[in-house]
Amino acid sequence: MKVILHIWRQAKASTNSDFKQDGKMVRYELNNASPDMSFLEMLDVLNEQLITKGEEPVAFDHDCREGVCGSCGVVIDGVPHGPESGTTTCQLHMRSFKDGAEIYIEPMRAKAFPVTKDLIVDRGSFDRIVQSGAFISVNTGAPQDANAILIPKPDADRAFDAATCIGCGACVAACKNASAMLFVGAKVSHFKHLPQGQVERDSRARNLVSAMDEEGFGNCTNQNECEAVCPKEISVRVIADMNREYLRAKVLEE
């Protein structure tokens, strides 16, 4: 199949919030794409052709290519991870596009996700949020045998649903406010429903929300774009969990 690709090319890291000053869309034609290729395999084929011509290959991030790590995330035709729901970019196949299609490929743009090169963005802001408290500290008591801790199934299910977040940033890229509340809500909700997370429950909510604000992410306006594009289909319920936990923590603090 033949596809026409419009890809964001940017040679160096972003210098300001005006993305248009840092790079541009470049048009490529690919005549030998297979419908059975994954989207990233198609980019590999394009890069092989560019290297053969002596041109700079397109830089894009990836790792597992199994939909587990989320590092592959790009915006395809205006949608983070592309047209298929519940799917990461690396799991997307070219059969999702028509022969002769024009495909627009951009990085996940946000002030807190500066572009480093082409389709690669720096998601270090997510790492810093996690470091602020999205974990259970070693000083919360000696570990118990997992089978000795009784957890109601509804709580276990909610915790597991939130824990599926892979931190890809699709929620931020889809939100008009570049909000990270689905990501942060998933971290808060994950531990909220587990007994191991109760010791640091209040400090966790305060620290994660504060870190999110410091990184420059916007606020949620309840339009649910984040849930629509999340490859793990995490519900906006976790945002409600986060808001309740933050309010509870602030009241107890006072």
**What is the structure's pLDDT at 21?**
66
- How confident is the model over 31-56, as pLDDT tens digits? 999 999 999 999 999 999 999 999 99
SS3 198: coil
Mean pLDDT of 81-86: 96
Q: How many CB atoms lie within 10 A of CB 52?
A: 8
Q: Which amino acid is at 127?
A: D
Residue 13: is its pLDDT beyond 90? no
**What is the structure's pLDDT at 253?**
80
| Residues of the chain above pLDDT 90, percent | 86
Mean pLDDT of 155-172: 96
Closest by CA to 186, choosing from 165, 215, 214, is 165
| Residues of the chain above pLDDT 70, percent | 95
> Can you read off the two tokens belonging to residue 213?
């604000």
Q: Maximum CA pair distance of the chain?
A: 65
**In the Cβ-directed half-sphere of 244, how many Cα atoms lie within 13 Å?**
7
β-bridge mates for residue 170, sequence order: none
Find out whether 212 and 185 touch, Cβ atoms under 8 Å.
no
> Can you read off the two tokens belonging to residue 222?
């309840």
- How confident is the model over 104-135, as pLDDT tens digits? 999 999 999 999 999 999 999 999 999 999 99
**What is the structure's pLDDT at 240?**
96
Instruction: Note the Cα 240 to chain centre separation in Å.
Output: 19
pTM (2 d.p.):
0.92
> Can you read off the two tokens belonging to residue 99?
């022969």
**What is the structure's pLDDT at 140?**
63
Which band of pLDDT confidence, cut at 50, 70 and 90, is reported for residue 139? confident
In which region does residue 67 sit, left (phi positive, over 0), alpha (psi from -120 to 50) or beta (all else)? left
Which band of pLDDT confidence, cut at 50, 70 and 90, is reported for residue 241? very high
CA R_g for the chain: 20
Q: Which domains does the chain have, with CATH numbers?
A: 3-120 (3.10.20.30), 124-253 (1.10.1060.10)
Residue 61: is its pLDDT beyond 60? yes
> Can you read off the two tokens belonging to residue 60?
């894009």
- How confident is the model over 172-214, as pLDDT tens digits? 999 999 999 999 999 999 999 998 899 999 999 999 999 999 9
Which segments within 36-180 are labelled E, that is strand? Answer: 75-76, 79-80, 102-106, 115-117, 120-121
Across the chain, mean pLDDT equals 93
Alpha-carbon span 111 to 108, nearest angstrom: 10
Which band of pLDDT confidence, cut at 50, 70 and 90, is reported for residue 232? very high
**What is the structure's pLDDT at 18?**
58
Which band of pLDDT confidence, cut at 50, 70 and 90, is reported for residue 19? low
Pure H helices in 164-236: 170-174, 181-192, 201-214, 225-229
DSSP assigned state of 196: G
